[in-house]
Amino acid sequence: MADFNDTHKAEQGQYFTEGIHKITILGVEGGTNENGKEYIEFIVGGENGEEGSARMWFTSDKAIAYTFNSIRNIFVHNAPKAKEEEAKALVNKVSNSDELVNLCNKALVGKEAWYT
């Protein structure tokens, strides 16, 4: 389990703007690969029935910050304009990767994101 600190939660500029494929989040799983590296994986579906997955990592401070910020941005994207700050605060309350996976499963399944 990766623990999050204030550096990980600091807002960063986005590496990418919205992706080119609008998708629906079908499920979220946390795990480790055969080398013991921790990840969070989003199972996604496309507008035309496509299915795929997107995996983000908790393997270094830089990777944790990128993953945390990308996921927080998905929460904000799905919040009404007036509730965006509440969405940020909700994600910022999470203290580790297990809590983040659980929050994503509760709040993001069925929601929209963009796949690059």
Task: Give the pLDDT of residue 69.
Answer: 94
Q: Which of 101, 110, 81 is nearest to 23 (CA)?
A: 110
In the chain, % of residues over pLDDT 70: 93
pLDDT in tens, 14-40: 544 555 778 999 999 999 999 999 999
Task: Give the pLDDT of residue 26.
Answer: 97
Task: Give the pLDDT of residue 19.
Answer: 58
CA 28 to chain centre: 9
Which strands make up the sheet holding 112-115, listed edge to edge? 51-57, 38-46, 21-32, 112-115
* 0.95 surpassed by pTM: no
- What the block records as the tokens of 30 is 């946390």
Say if strands 51-57 and 21-32 run parallel, antiparallel, or are unpaired: unpaired
Task: Give the pLDDT of residue 25.
Answer: 97
| 11 pLDDT tier (thresholds 50, 70, 90) | confident
Would you mind telling me the total number of residues written for the chain in this entry?
A: 116
Q: What is the mean pLDDT of residues 93-105?
A: 97
SS3 content of the chain, % helix, strand, coil (to 5): 40, 30, 35
Coil vs helix vs strand at 54: strand
Task: Give the pLDDT of residue 48.
Answer: 85
